[in-house]
Structure 1
Amino acid sequence: MEFKFSYLFAVIWLLINVIVSIQVARRDDLDAFQKKGQIVFVWIIPFLAAIFVWHYNRSMDLEVKRGNGTFGGGESPVDHE
């Protein structure tokens, strides 16, 4: 039995598209039109679209770095004796 890379590529392509489609469908921050559009985009333009949508959605999930926890610019509440 001969191993064909085209079968491996097809399986990887389907797996990526299914994973990304599920990821998009489960997002709460997208409305129904955006979800449908992104899923259609993934399946019409297969491999590159899946990578693009995956990267786009992951970039939205990155935690925003905050400052050191202080607010304002006044003095800190320290007891002066």
Structure 2
Amino acid sequence: MELKYFYTGFGVIALLNLIVSVLLIKRDDLEVFQKVAQVILVWLIPLFAAVGLWLFYRSQDKPKSIPKSFGGGTSSGTNTHNGSGL
């Protein structure tokens, strides 16, 4: 019974490593050496490296929010002309 849990855990970790390895290989922003080194890390330090690299690149791939304009320019709600003609 205990061996069954071991094989299940091993299978989950191997699947996670495989998924992260494929994601690393498909990245266009990494050089070949970086891809190879990170895939080796994923397989040498199975759970921690896979989860760590996955979280790191997931945070890098999030779309950046467009900053809202701050200050400057005129607003239709302001009246700077007092009508005195000066």
Residue 11 of structure 1 aligns to a residue whose secondary structure is helix
List runs of 5+ in structure 1 lacking aligned partners: 77-81
Cα separation, 1, equivalents of 2:53 and 2:46: 11
Q: Percent identity?
A: 41
**Pair 1:22 & 2:22 matched:** yes
TM-score by length of 1: 0.81
**Which residue does 1:58 correspond to in 2?**
58
**Which residue does 2:37 correspond to in 1?**
37
Larger deviation, residues 57-66 vs 15-24? 57-66
Higher Cα Rg: structure 1 or 2?
2
Cα separation, 1, equivalents of 2:29 and 2:71: 31
Alpha-carbon deviation of 1:16? 0.2
RMSD: 2.2
TM-score by length of 2: 0.76
Cα displacement string for residues 28-52 of structure 1 (whole angstroms, at most 9, x for unaligned residues): 0111111111101100111111000
Change (3 A) 1:66 1:37: same
Cα separation, 1, equivalents of 2:43 and 2:70: 46
Question: How many positions carry a matched residue from both structures?
Answer: 77
Q: Which runs of 4 or more aligned residues in structure 1 lie more than 6 Å from their structure 2 counterparts after TM superposition? A: none
